[in-house]
Structure 1
Amino acid sequence: MVHVNETTLSMFPGQGSQRARMAGHLTHDHPRTAGRVLAEATDVLGLPLTELCTTADAAALEPTEIAQPAILATSLAVLAVLREEAGHLPSVVAGHSLGEYTALVAAGVLSPADALRLVRRRGELMAAVSRRVSGAMTAVMGLAPRHIEAICARSAPLGRVEVANYNERGQTVVSGERAAVAEAARLAEEAGAERTVPLKVSAPFHCSLMREIEDEFGAELERCRFADPDVLVLSSVSGGPVRDGAHARELLRRQLVGPVRWVDVLDAARAHGVTAYVEIGPGRVLSGFAHRTVPDATVRSTNDARRLGALVRDLSPPATGSGAEAA
């Protein structure tokens, strides 16, 4: 159980967490909160996000320009349920890649509408790169990050390949041109990796192949207002705190080509006194990272109706009896 006096890191997932009907339980169980958020997101983008998040099959969510706003909208819907129905006000937030946009909304840095527009454009630009470049991403388990960095350097003659995600000490993701990523996976297995897992993604995220869209997306970022955060935001780009609105904007631009430093985020969370972790949105990937990294901590997720309902009950303040006296 998450206790109200615990310092909790609210974690928001990124691409790869999408699944068919991922918000179906939200609109069924929480129509006035989650249903409203999804309807508003649909209006902002002119995409059928309510349908995509509640009834569409997995294939409809595969394009990155669809998956990204759908995950953001679902995460915002869960956040609204926790805020409005359980009184959960995050004190420390962080998002994994795409999830950083949800974290910035939770911290008052970005409006939901601006976050949705930015993420939609981010997905469109990334999809354009994937159409021009034969890219891939592969997760490597069981090798130290420094060994994987050396393997990427050895694979460079076949193309660009770089570390994209430092997810946990036993899992690192590489990204780049397909032939070079395949070579890095082969060398990792030769070096004793427990296994390598090609990721089902449509673009080589978080590597220098994305540099060609950096200026165009930077211009999109400049058109949006970035306020200073109301609560502590730990950036997955730097692994440390977001200082102010301008810093948040800069980090989102750097995020396109820089690696996700989730190991550093969890280390920073512990240094700031975090003792509980709640994953807000679809999937349970971040919950797994937290369980394995901080095994003694309280870790909760909101992936389905049962888990979300239990968390709402645990976070909600106790009802006051009719005969209670005011202190």
Structure 2
Amino acid sequence: MGQALFHGFDEAAATLAGAAAITGRDLGALMRRGPSSVLTRTGSAQVAVTTVSLAALAVLRARAVAYDAVAGHSVGMLAALAAADVLDPADAIALAARRGTIMDALPLGGSMVSVAGLASPIAVDVVRMVRRRTGSAVVVGLVNGPQNVVVSGEEAGVAEAVRALHEAGSSSAVPLTVSHAFHSPLMSGARPAWQDVVAAQPLRNARIPVLADSTGEPLISQRAIREFLVEQLTSPVRWDLVCRHLCASGEREAIEMGDSKALRSLGLPYEQLRVTTMAAPQFLASLRDPGRTPLRLAGRTI
């Protein structure tokens, strides 16, 4: 995880060293060797993902890459806020560590299933009906595209929702390997502690628009950002709305910070939007070309 960045760019290596100092953990060894059972736990994964995203940001900034707005998917919003100068990168790493620890402390349970092949508005309605009928805490926790949702919540409710979505015409259902049901009501137990952390964290107004992953709308004021950070724990991710906003605003080019291709894949249904991933070796090589000036960054997902 992040090895091409950490070994190829001094700025990225410095970000990793700083993250290790902030967290008191050898994140480099964890991302290099695992074990995956530790790395994939939310207490580790969130800070690791944020560190890789911020390492990528440091590389881009060192090369004066221009961008006029940012967006982040789930915990990727913390890196996006750093890119918009709402937070210092060190504070974003510390917040990611606290966020992961707080969520990791919740009782294990719940599930998440990625469902494709059914129009997302229909999928949302189907899951809403299942929740009303069964009383189960199950929701569409992520709308990642026109026919791509993730169902999240209590295991029995998720199973029932997946069955109902199949009957409605979905083509696939893939269980996700997670410890908790993120972006669902099962995360509400983490809100009080996280709200205290967010309340104590100094924030600045955004230098450029930060697109909220729950609405696709820009956040600017520190007050709005603070409220968003708390609500985000139990709000659905609406990456479809983020992509629609980018297209409607006339933006055509985006960079996925980090070492993943996930957001590039999620951008494919939107023909107007061209997403380049920093996971591509040719893109990393191009960063040594000072003539390249991408327009927009997108935070890495978890």
TM-score (norm 1): 0.84
Q: Distance in 2 between matches of 1:70 and 1:166?
A: 24
Give the structure 1 partner of residue 296 of structure 2: none
For 1:171-190, what aligned pairs fall within 5 Å after superposition? 171-190=148-167
1:249-288 Cα offsets, whole Å, 9 max, x none, are: 1101010000001111111112222110110112111101
The structure 2 residue matched to 1:81, chosen from 59, 66, 75, is 59
Q: Distance in 1 between matches of 2:34 and 2:154?
A: 31
Give the structure 2 partner of residue 147 of structure 1: 122
Q: Determine whether 1:136 maps to 2:111.
A: yes
Q: Specify every segment of 5 or more residues in structure 1 that has no aligned partner in the other structure, as ranges.
A: 1-21, 319-327
Letter in structure 2 aligned against 1:149: V
Give the structure 1 partner of residue 86 of structure 2: 109
Give the structure 1 partner of residue 6 of structure 2: 27
For 1:93-108, what aligned pairs fall within 5 Å after superposition? 93-108=70-85
Where 2:149 maps in the other structure, the secondary structure is: strand
Tell me how far 1:314 sits from its aligned partner: 5.1
Tell me how far 1:80 sits from its aligned partner: 0.9
Equivalent residues of 2:247, 2:272 under 8 A apart? no
Equivalent residues of 1:162, 1:176 under 8 A apart? yes
For 1:262-277, what aligned pairs fall within 5 Å after superposition? 262-277=239-254
Equivalent residues of 2:246, 2:273 under 8 A apart? no
Equivalent residues of 1:38, 1:77 under 8 A apart? yes
Give the structure 2 partner of residue 253 of structure 1: 230
1:171-225 Cα offsets, whole Å, 9 max, x none, are: 0111000111011111111111011111111110111111122121111001111
Change (3 A) 1:235 1:314: farther
Q: Distance in 2 between matches of 1:298 and 1:314?
A: 20
Q: Distance in 1 between matches of 2:282 and 2:29?
A: 23
The structure 1 residue matched to 2:187, chosen from 191, 205, 210, is 210
TM-score (norm 2): 0.91
Q: Determine whether 1:70 maps to 2:29.
A: no
* Root-mean-square deviation over aligned CA pairs: 1.8
1:118-140 Cα offsets, whole Å, 9 max, x none, are: 21121122122242xx2001111
Q: Distance in 2 between matches of 1:242 and 1:142?
A: 31
Where 1:102 maps in the other structure, the secondary structure is: helix
Tell me how far 1:57 sits from its aligned partner: 4.1
1:136-189 Cα offsets, whole Å, 9 max, x none, are: 011111112332223223433162100111110110111000111011111111
The number of residues matched between the two structures is 291
Letter in structure 2 aligned against 1:29: G
Q: Distance in 2 between matches of 1:315 and 1:181?
A: 49
Give the structure 1 partner of residue 138 of structure 2: 161
Letter in structure 2 aligned against 1:242: L
For 1:50-61, what aligned pairs fall within 5 Å after superposition? 50-61=28-39
Q: Distance in 1 between matches of 2:74 and 2:226?
A: 14
Percent of aligned pairs sharing the same letter: 34
Give the structure 2 partner of residue 126 of structure 1: 103
Structure 1 runs of 4+ aligned residues shifted over 6 Å read none
Kindly name which structure, 1 or 2, has the bigger radius of gyration based on alpha carbons: 1
The structure 2 residue matched to 1:284, chosen from 257, 261, 272, is 261
Where 1:277 maps in the other structure, the secondary structure is: strand
Give the structure 1 partner of residue 214 of structure 2: 237
Give the structure 2 partner of residue 323 of structure 1: none
Q: Distance in 2 between matches of 1:211 and 1:315?
A: 46
- Stretch moving more, 164-173 or 150-159: 150-159
Q: Distance in 2 between matches of 1:69 and 1:317?
A: 29
The structure 2 residue matched to 1:301, chosen from 261, 277, 292, is 277
Letter in structure 2 aligned against 1:267: R
Q: Distance in 2 between matches of 1:76 and 1:316?
A: 22
Q: Distance in 2 between matches of 1:83 and 1:284?
A: 21
Where 1:229 maps in the other structure, the secondary structure is: coil
Equivalent residues of 1:90, 1:106 under 8 A apart? no
Give the structure 1 partner of residue 25 of structure 2: 47
